Structure 1
């Protein structure tokens, strides 16, 4: 039969008609043909949208737009004044890498939005202003630069500012991952029981002291048994909803003379203090410290990364492309990319806030990690 097919005088015309029919019926022909013809199925299969390394600049590009938006877009127009970073390789999909997106949010003085909840897990990382506000499951959290606040899957929360000044923060969500799984849901109809009746509310009643997270969970290795037995959120994340920058910075500074890791320098992960696991089941977060003049060796991993410099200046080399960054920028490092970071200063350290989909990949046994030695040899790390 194979011989008869190749002897057809109109084979190319017949093949084109066959492919047109397959496409019209929303199917894909998964058989390989030679690479010099139009319908090379392997090339087509691999030509899906892929994230590319890309750098967004906060001071030059993001903040000027947000400042204009404060004047033009009020809370009556929208409850969110955020800019989502869209990877050029994935546009128009709202994704900064394939599984996560970063958004910058600027709230004007004393703006508070109503509560909502959603299936994507999210964090807020303070950049500017001492009055960033997030109420999470009845804990009213005011946070400043470097503080990390969780808004977990299916947990009521609201955002805004207090203290009479604007505040800027950075959000990271696993929205693209949850969207791919067709599991996105939002709820904006917040209500509380009053005298046996559910009453719509525009703000959550305070159920926990404002410093509950830090007071109860903020001592590594020590867990108060007298803590409230009330569940926190939907129970899908760390019960500690705020991680303060001064504790993270102090820990890293205390170890600044340690040798560190050649590929990651000094890196600390935010964890659930009750389990030692990442704060979410899908994504995790780190702070990475590069001491003055320090550079990391090239590292490649299957995990997708979002890297946001918080203090200092420097550059990263991703798949041979150099990206010079400053504080509050965001760098997309797609999974599978070779990446190394360089601290440009010989006097001051650099601190990088990093988000990763490593937990998802580990649960699926897909996570892999390689590094290059000083001699440029590739070694398996995980």
Structure 2
């Protein structure tokens, strides 16, 4: 007979409580199931109790007013950054929308340029308003407007700002939570250039490429120039640093009469033009078009997504929760949740900007995707 069998109910519970207290006092945790209905169900407790939940942030009602209030109070003299970071309630206080992705909205006043910096997370900027958003990346000065996607890959010197006379707002997505989890986080702000044999600190990068370099070299799909080096930055991201909205919108328009995918409608991925792979090794990005009245079938994948409507309005069902959306909102779709989208307009398309950590899961051979058929049957898609 075991020791536990020799103890009656009250004595056994007292002994267990003492054991658990002693284990905790030594910075350890038990892993045994005593009773699934109480706190000692260690199958549940061994998992991280902080999990991203389906959630949304509204642009017009909440984000935009707070951005303009911040612009009145936070100047470039007091801070090099003026951004609002979205925090998923299930992950708070961690600054993350889903477990691996960080989203922020940034407002730049007219004619302000911040000094260069670089960091270990990969990042993109998507223009929302203003036609003179500015990002300088590794000597390529990029001016961009609504719908243009700009890359600032890992370890590339870059700076942000606004060259225009009107306010400019853009959306940022970074793999910062993933990089932080891997203990690979760093930020650097001491940008220097060599002048007459000495390193001199600069507040602006010298321009080393023509302003339309990315479009000139990479703007024709399927054609790869051999007369330039494609090893830009660290060489671990797409060398095309800006993807123009007019090209993406034209591609979506050309595809509008295709059947599309029942679970994803029409999705076009931003890819590295030299190899067809995702623009970063950790995350990838799409524009997803729902045609008038279109509704997708439920889809579940273990990749985590952020979804930011760019055109149109509608709603999504994420984890059984209805989330209504409009342009420039952001929605968290945690990995493992069923999701479906509905375009409520019978006249106009809805276009969603989607970020995903799918490349990370694929690199680790963990990626899975399931869908439901019209009859409710669950099928494995990937």
Q: TM-score, normalised by structure 1?
A: 0.98
SS of alignment partner, residue 216 of structure 1: helix
Report what 2:6 is aligned to.
7
2:365 equivalent to 1:365? yes
User: Residues 345-380 of structure 1, C-alpha deviation per residue, up to 9 Å, x if partnerless?
Assistant: 111111100000000000101100011111111111
Shift of 1:8: 2.9
2:334 equivalent to 1:334? yes
2:378 equivalent to 1:378? yes
SS of alignment partner, residue 19 of structure 1: helix
**CA–CA distance in 1 between the matches of 2:280 and 2:213?**
19
Report what 1:23 is aligned to.
24
Q: Is the 8 A contact 2:230 2:239 kept in 1?
A: no
**CA–CA distance in 2 between the matches of 1:212 and 1:118?**
23
2:201 equivalent to 1:200? yes
**CA–CA distance in 2 between the matches of 1:38 and 1:262?**
42
**CA–CA distance in 2 between the matches of 1:51 and 1:230?**
37
**CA–CA distance in 2 between the matches of 1:23 and 1:64?**
46
Shift of 1:36: 3.8
SS of alignment partner, residue 203 of structure 1: coil
SS of alignment partner, residue 150 of structure 1: strand
Report what 1:296 is aligned to.
296
Q: Is the 8 A contact 2:308 2:352 kept in 1?
A: yes
Change (3 A) 1:312 1:189: same
Give structure 1 stretches of 5+ with no counterpart. Answer: none
Q: Is the 8 A contact 2:305 2:355 kept in 1?
A: yes
Report what 1:139 is aligned to.
140
Report what 1:114 is aligned to.
115
**CA–CA distance in 2 between the matches of 1:359 and 1:38?**
36
User: Residues 98-157 of structure 1, C-alpha deviation per residue, up to 9 Å, x if partnerless?
Assistant: 000110000111111100000000000000000110000000000000000000000000
Shift of 1:231: 3.8
**CA–CA distance in 2 between the matches of 1:35 and 1:339?**
29
Shift of 1:43: 2.6
Shift of 1:230: 7.3
Change (3 A) 1:230 1:312: closer
SS of alignment partner, residue 160 of structure 2: strand
Q: Is the 8 A contact 2:121 2:179 kept in 1?
A: yes
Change (3 A) 1:214 1:298: same
Give structure 2 stretches of 5+ with no counterpart. Answer: none
2:107 equivalent to 1:78? no
Alignment of 1:142-153 (within 5 A): 142-153=143-154
Alignment of 1:169-318 (within 5 A): 169-227=170-228, 229=229, 231-318=231-318
**Structure 1 outlier segments of 4+, above 6 Å:** none
**CA–CA distance in 1 between the matches of 2:152 and 2:308?**
19
User: Residues 266-317 of structure 1, C-alpha deviation per residue, up to 9 Å, x if partnerless?
Assistant: 1000000001100000000000011111111111001000000000010001
SS of alignment partner, residue 104 of structure 2: strand
Shift of 1:260: 0.5
Q: TM-score, normalised by structure 2?
A: 0.98
- More off after superposition, 47-56 vs 28-37: 28-37
Change (3 A) 1:149 1:47: closer
